[in-house]
């Protein structure tokens, strides 16, 4: 890569990470060719529009497409740098599925020329970057691959995970520190030179296996810590304590920082990535595995608590507040709130209403349940029971006067001034 000429880039996978990443490269002056298997995604982007919701992404994509810096297609094209940002789901046994990475690698292999740089960004089990290298070596015996030759390799291959927070992706893509793991130190230096074009955070180089593990560890760390908070909330329910008060006080200790209980852990990262570690070292991971179980179990605890409250108050209509997997985003995939709401709707039918400011209609699985999407004002006028499942700003802003008379089950702790109701069903506690 010459320092005065920006490299051309091919980004494979134009989802929540690939598209913002492609747009940021294009804004930094690289000619970007985006690739996705979906013709709909490709057409949308080529019109200068976007198929996902993310703060400020629409204007950025529109601008770079208009200036001819970003084009999308369903086929990989020649470039100096190839970025792979495709999904790595797990199967029913929680075993990671890297088939999309390998399929992308196959397509990239066909387009590689001497001097190119391949970077895997997908969250991946340890060893995936080496597997990608082995695939490229097999498909392109004409190219010398890193780690397999004593000579200078023809291509470089690295792993560089993103660590951005949905809702803040553009800001965090630029500002967060990054770990850059090369198959060899030379590969890492090549990738480093590329990321330096647009990353303002510090770029720390390492080997590919350490970088792969780092990404998994970051999300497992958060999962374990959320599990601790969720376990405390269930202990508090059993002991009739206010978990929010206990956490607030404990967090005044200078070295204690307990996270926030909720209805469970959603999204596509924190509930998934810890399994990649468990799968890689099943005997050594009782804590990580248990944390997963605690966080999944919290969803069922919330369902049981809500069911008891609703059953004990048969006259009251119920508003479930929120479907998103976390606050202030429109992402309902893998959302505990959505699972709680649909379970209640299936059990209690027309008594259940749902408030979700980020939804135009209820997701498909509510079909046949008689549940209805209403706005927060209607909920405050009509519902006798409010079940807070997401800490959206719109819900947080409801003053006590408008909810003081309601029975509230606040799984997120957004209304700490709410009077704790007298226990209204045997065994029912509403601490969180
Ligand atoms: N949650 C709680 N209590 C908390 C914090 C979160 O119940 O105190 C819940 C949220 O409501 C949500 C889930 O956990 O359901 C995950 O939310 P999150 O905000 O913790 O994380 P994600 O999934 O949006 O993004 C994570 C981030 N990882 C870490 O913070 C270590 C992000 O930086 C990663 O880039 C992203 O995963 C990813 O793509 O891997």
CATH number for region 9-201: 3.40.50.720
Exposed, middle or buried by CB within 10 Å (0-12, 13-18, 19+), for 387?
A: buried
**Per-residue model confidence (pLDDT) at position 429:** 47
List the catalytic residues: 215, 269
Kindly state the tokens that stand for 146. 């890193």
Kindly state the tokens that stand for 317. 């209509």
Atom 3 of ligand 1, residue of closest alpha carbon: 260
| Residues of the chain under the 70 pLDDT cut | 1-4, 421-432
Count other C-beta atoms under 10 Å from residue 419's C-beta. Answer: 11
Q: Is the pTM of this model over 0.85?
A: yes
Domain map (residue ranges) of the chain: 9-201, 242-410
In 3D, which of 25, 21, 14 has the Cα closest to residue 173? 21
With tokens 């080529």, the residue in question is 46
For ligand 1, whether the C-beta of 31 sits within 6 Å is: no
- Measured from the Cα of 391, ligand 1's closest atom is 11
For ligand 1, whether the C-beta of 337 sits within 6 Å is: no
**Per-residue model confidence (pLDDT) at position 2:** 47
Sheet strands side by side (includes 385-388): 372-374, 352-355, 318-321, 385-388, 407-410
**Per-residue model confidence (pLDDT) at position 330:** 87
**Per-residue model confidence (pLDDT) at position 3:** 54
Indicate if 242-410 has the same CATH topology as 9-201: yes
- Measured from the Cα of 262, ligand 1's closest atom is 7
Identify the three-state secondary structure at position 6.
coil
In 3D, which of 119, 116, 30 has the Cα closest to residue 83? 119
Q: Is there a contact between 274 and 291 (Cβ–Cβ < 8 Å)? A: yes
Identify the three-state secondary structure at position 180.
strand
Q: How many whole angstroms from 124 Cα to the centroid of ligand 1?
A: 17
**Per-residue model confidence (pLDDT) at position 183:** 98
Phi, psi of 84 (to 5 degrees): -105, 120
In whole angstroms, give the CA distance from residue 29 to residue 8.
Answer: 9
For ligand 1, whether the C-beta of 166 sits within 6 Å is: yes
For ligand 1, whether the C-beta of 168 sits within 6 Å is: no
Q: How many whole angstroms from 120 Cα to the centroid of ligand 1?
A: 22
Q: Is there a contact between 325 and 333 (Cβ–Cβ < 8 Å)? A: yes
- Measured from the Cα of 123, ligand 1's closest atom is 40
CA 56-59-61 angle, 5° bins: 105
For ligand 1, whether the C-beta of 265 sits within 6 Å is: yes
**Per-residue model confidence (pLDDT) at position 423:** 45
For ligand 1, whether the C-beta of 266 sits within 6 Å is: yes
Kindly state the tokens that stand for 145. 């691959």
Q: How many whole angstroms from 270 Cα to the centroid of ligand 1?
A: 6
In whole angstroms, give the CA distance from residue 321 to residue 356.
Answer: 7
Predicted confidence (pLDDT) per residue in 257-273, tens digit:
999 999 999 998 999 99
Atom 28 of ligand 1, residue of closest alpha carbon: 219
The preferred substitution site among 269, 323, 328, 333 for testing ligand 1, maximizing ligand atoms within 8 Å of CB, is 269
CA 208-214-218 angle, 5° bins: 155
For ligand 1, whether the C-beta of 103 sits within 6 Å is: no
- Measured from the Cα of 327, ligand 1's closest atom is 11
- Measured from the Cα of 222, ligand 1's closest atom is 31
For ligand 1, whether the C-beta of 220 sits within 6 Å is: no
Atom 11 of ligand 1, residue of closest alpha carbon: 326
Which CATH number fits the domain 242-410, given the four candidates 2.120.10.30, 3.40.50.720, 3.40.1830.10, 3.30.300.20? 3.40.50.720
């Amino acid at each position: 890569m010459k320092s005065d000429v920006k490299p051309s880039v091919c980004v494979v996978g134009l989802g929540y990470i690939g598209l913002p990443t492609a747009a940021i490269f294009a804004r930094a002056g690289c000619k970007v060719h985006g690739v996705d298997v979906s013709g709909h995604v490709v057409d949308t982007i080529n019109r200068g529009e976007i198929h996902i919701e993310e703060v400020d992404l629409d204007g950025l994509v529109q601008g770079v497409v208009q200036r001819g810096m970003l084009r999308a297609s369903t086929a990989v094209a020649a470039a100096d740098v190839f970025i792979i940002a495709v999904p790595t789901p797990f199967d029913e046994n929680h075993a990671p599925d890297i088939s999309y990475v390998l399929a992308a690698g196959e397509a990239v292999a066909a387009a590689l020329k001497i001097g190119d740089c391949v970077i895997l960004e997908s969250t991946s089990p340890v060893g995936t970057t080496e597997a990608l290298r082995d695939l490229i070596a097999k498909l392109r015996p004409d190219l010398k691959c890193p780690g397999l030759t004593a000579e200078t390799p023809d291509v470089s291959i690295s792993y560089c995970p993103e660590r951005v927070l949905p809702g803040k992706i553009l800001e965090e893509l630029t500002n967060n520190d990054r770990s850059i793991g090369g198959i060899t130190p030379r590969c890492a230096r090549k990738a480093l030179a590329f990321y330096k074009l647009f990353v303002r955070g510090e770029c720390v180089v390492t080997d590919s296996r350490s970088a792969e593990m780092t990404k998994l560890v970051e999300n497992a760390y958060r999962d374990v810590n959320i599990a601790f908070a969720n376990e405390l909330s269930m202990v508090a329910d059993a002991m009739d304590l206010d978990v929010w008060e206990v956490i607030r006080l404990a967090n005044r200790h200078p070295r204690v920082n307990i996270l926030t209980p909720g209805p469970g852990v959603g999204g596509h990262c924190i509930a998934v990535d810890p399994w990649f570690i468990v799968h890689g070292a099943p005997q050594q991971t009782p804590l990580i595995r248990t944390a997963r179980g605690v966080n999944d179990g919290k969803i069922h605890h919330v369902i049981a608590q809500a069911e008891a409250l609703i059953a004990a108050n048969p006259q009251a209509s119920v508003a479930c507040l929120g479907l998103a997997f976390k606050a202030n985003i429109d992402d309902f995939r893998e959302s505990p709130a959505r699972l709680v709401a649909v379970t209640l709707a299936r059990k209690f039918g027309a008594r259940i209403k749902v408030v979700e400011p980020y939804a135009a209609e209820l997701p498909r699985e509510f079909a046949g349940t008689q549940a209805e999407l209403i706005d927060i004002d209607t909920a405050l006028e009509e519902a006798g029971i409010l079940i807070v499942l997401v800490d959206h700003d719109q819900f947080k802003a409801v003053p006590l006067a408008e909810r003081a008379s309601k029975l509230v089950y606040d799984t997120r702790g957004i209304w700490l001034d709410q009077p704790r109701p007298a226990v209204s069903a045997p065994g029912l506690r509403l601490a969180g």
